[in-house]
Amino acid sequence: MKERIKRILTNLFFCLLFFIFDRFLKNLYFLIQRPTFLKFQKNYYFLFVFQGNFFYFLTTLILIILVFLILRAYQKEKYQQVFALGLILVGGFSNFLDRTIHGFVIDYISFFSLWSFNLADLMILIGSLLFLWQLLKKKNLESSK
Protein backbone atom coordinates (compact mmCIF):
# COMPACT_ATOMS: atom_id res chain seq x y z
CA MET A 1 0.00 0.00 0.00
CA LYS A 2 2.83 2.42 0.83
CA GLU A 3 4.53 1.73 -2.49
CA ARG A 4 1.26 2.46 -4.32
CA ILE A 5 0.80 5.79 -2.55
CA LYS A 6 4.45 6.69 -3.15
CA ARG A 7 4.08 6.06 -6.90
CA ILE A 8 0.90 8.12 -7.09
CA LEU A 9 2.44 11.02 -5.20
CA THR A 10 5.57 10.90 -7.36
CA ASN A 11 3.46 10.98 -10.52
CA LEU A 12 1.39 13.87 -9.19
CA PHE A 13 4.49 15.76 -8.11
CA PHE A 14 6.09 15.63 -11.56
CA CYS A 15 2.86 16.50 -13.38
CA LEU A 16 2.31 19.48 -11.08
CA LEU A 17 5.95 20.53 -11.31
CA PHE A 18 5.75 20.66 -15.11
CA PHE A 19 2.42 22.50 -14.90
CA ILE A 20 3.80 25.13 -12.51
CA PHE A 21 6.94 25.64 -14.62
CA ASP A 22 4.86 26.03 -17.79
CA ARG A 23 2.54 28.54 -16.09
CA PHE A 24 5.59 30.46 -14.80
CA LEU A 25 7.14 30.69 -18.28
CA LYS A 26 3.83 31.75 -19.82
CA ASN A 27 3.36 34.45 -17.18
CA LEU A 28 6.79 35.86 -18.02
CA TYR A 29 5.18 37.03 -21.25
CA PHE A 30 2.98 39.42 -19.30
CA LEU A 31 5.58 40.39 -16.72
CA ILE A 32 8.62 41.00 -18.90
CA GLN A 33 7.12 41.11 -22.41
CA ARG A 34 10.37 40.36 -24.22
CA PRO A 35 12.90 38.30 -22.30
CA THR A 36 15.85 37.59 -24.53
CA PHE A 37 16.00 33.86 -23.81
CA LEU A 38 12.43 33.08 -24.96
CA LYS A 39 10.59 33.86 -28.17
CA PHE A 40 6.93 34.46 -27.29
CA GLN A 41 4.19 34.02 -29.84
CA LYS A 42 0.40 34.10 -29.57
CA ASN A 43 -1.22 30.93 -30.88
CA TYR A 44 -4.91 31.49 -31.64
CA TYR A 45 -5.59 28.03 -33.03
CA PHE A 46 -6.46 24.68 -31.49
CA LEU A 47 -5.32 21.80 -33.67
CA PHE A 48 -4.80 24.41 -36.40
CA VAL A 49 -8.48 25.19 -37.08
CA PHE A 50 -10.86 24.69 -34.16
CA GLN A 51 -12.13 27.85 -32.46
CA GLY A 52 -15.24 29.16 -30.72
CA ASN A 53 -17.86 27.03 -28.99
CA PHE A 54 -16.73 23.84 -30.72
CA PHE A 55 -13.30 24.30 -29.14
CA TYR A 56 -14.80 24.44 -25.64
CA PHE A 57 -17.03 21.43 -26.31
CA LEU A 58 -14.19 19.35 -27.75
CA THR A 59 -11.73 20.34 -25.02
CA THR A 60 -14.21 19.60 -22.24
CA LEU A 61 -15.00 16.22 -23.80
CA ILE A 62 -11.29 15.36 -24.08
CA LEU A 63 -10.61 16.40 -20.46
CA ILE A 64 -13.53 14.27 -19.20
CA ILE A 65 -12.31 11.26 -21.19
CA LEU A 66 -8.78 11.75 -19.82
CA VAL A 67 -10.03 11.85 -16.23
CA PHE A 68 -12.02 8.67 -16.86
CA LEU A 69 -8.98 6.92 -18.38
CA ILE A 70 -6.75 8.04 -15.50
CA LEU A 71 -9.20 6.70 -12.92
CA ARG A 72 -9.49 3.40 -14.79
CA ALA A 73 -5.69 3.04 -15.07
CA TYR A 74 -5.35 3.89 -11.38
CA GLN A 75 -7.88 1.19 -10.41
CA LYS A 76 -5.94 -1.33 -12.48
CA GLU A 77 -2.71 -0.12 -10.84
CA LYS A 78 -1.16 0.87 -14.19
CA TYR A 79 0.86 3.75 -12.82
CA GLN A 80 2.85 4.38 -15.99
CA GLN A 81 -0.44 4.95 -17.81
CA VAL A 82 -1.61 7.22 -15.00
CA PHE A 83 1.56 9.28 -15.41
CA ALA A 84 1.31 9.42 -19.22
CA LEU A 85 -2.36 10.41 -19.14
CA GLY A 86 -1.65 12.86 -16.30
CA LEU A 87 0.92 14.63 -18.49
CA ILE A 88 -1.64 14.92 -21.28
CA LEU A 89 -4.31 16.19 -18.88
CA VAL A 90 -2.08 18.76 -17.19
CA GLY A 91 -0.59 20.00 -20.48
CA GLY A 92 -4.01 20.28 -22.05
CA PHE A 93 -5.39 22.07 -19.01
CA SER A 94 -2.56 24.61 -19.06
CA ASN A 95 -3.22 25.45 -22.70
CA PHE A 96 -6.97 25.49 -22.02
CA LEU A 97 -6.39 28.06 -19.25
CA ASP A 98 -4.47 30.29 -21.65
CA ARG A 99 -7.14 30.09 -24.31
CA THR A 100 -9.94 30.74 -21.82
CA ILE A 101 -8.23 33.62 -20.01
CA HIS A 102 -6.35 35.31 -22.86
CA GLY A 103 -8.02 34.05 -26.03
CA PHE A 104 -4.76 32.47 -27.23
CA VAL A 105 -2.05 30.07 -26.08
CA ILE A 106 1.35 31.49 -25.29
CA ASP A 107 4.13 29.63 -27.09
CA TYR A 108 7.71 30.39 -26.10
CA ILE A 109 9.99 27.75 -27.59
CA SER A 110 10.92 28.19 -31.25
CA PHE A 111 12.09 25.22 -33.29
CA PHE A 112 14.37 26.56 -36.05
CA SER A 113 11.74 29.26 -36.74
CA LEU A 114 9.53 26.57 -38.28
CA TRP A 115 7.02 26.38 -35.45
CA SER A 116 6.73 27.38 -31.85
CA PHE A 117 5.40 25.49 -28.87
CA ASN A 118 5.46 25.45 -25.07
CA LEU A 119 6.09 23.05 -22.22
CA ALA A 120 2.40 22.11 -22.11
CA ASP A 121 2.62 21.02 -25.75
CA LEU A 122 5.65 18.90 -24.85
CA MET A 123 3.76 17.35 -21.93
CA ILE A 124 0.91 16.43 -24.29
CA LEU A 125 3.32 14.98 -26.86
CA ILE A 126 5.44 13.03 -24.36
CA GLY A 127 2.37 11.76 -22.50
CA SER A 128 0.80 10.64 -25.78
CA LEU A 129 3.98 8.87 -26.88
CA LEU A 130 4.37 7.16 -23.48
CA PHE A 131 0.74 6.04 -23.54
CA LEU A 132 1.03 4.74 -27.10
CA TRP A 133 4.28 2.94 -26.25
CA GLN A 134 2.60 1.27 -23.27
CA LEU A 135 -0.34 0.16 -25.40
CA LEU A 136 1.97 -1.24 -28.09
CA LYS A 137 4.10 -2.96 -25.46
CA LYS A 138 1.00 -4.60 -23.99
CA LYS A 139 -0.19 -5.67 -27.45
CA ASN A 140 3.22 -7.22 -28.23
CA LEU A 141 3.19 -9.12 -24.93
CA GLU A 142 -0.30 -10.46 -25.63
CA SER A 143 0.56 -11.51 -29.19
CA SER A 144 3.72 -13.35 -28.07
CA LYS A 145 1.73 -15.60 -25.71
Nearest to 49 by CA among 38, 40, 58, 39: 58
Model pLDDT, residue 127? 94
Q: DSSP 3-state assignment of 29? A: helix
Model pLDDT, residue 7? 80
Model pLDDT, residue 79? 84
pLDDT digits (tens, 9 = 90+) for 13-49: 988 999 999 999 888 877 776 656 667 777 776 554 5
User: Residue 72: pLDDT band by 50, 70, 90 thresholds?
Assistant: very high
pLDDT digits (tens, 9 = 90+) for 83-140: 999 999 999 999 989 888 888 888 888 777 777 889 999 999 999 999 999 888 877 7
Model pLDDT, residue 63? 86
Given a cut of 60, whether residue 80 has pLDDT beyond it is: yes
Strands 105-107 and 109-111: unpaired
From 107, 116, 119, 123, active-site residue: 107
Q: Is 121 annotated in the active site?
A: yes
From 29, 66, 105, 121, active-site residue: 121
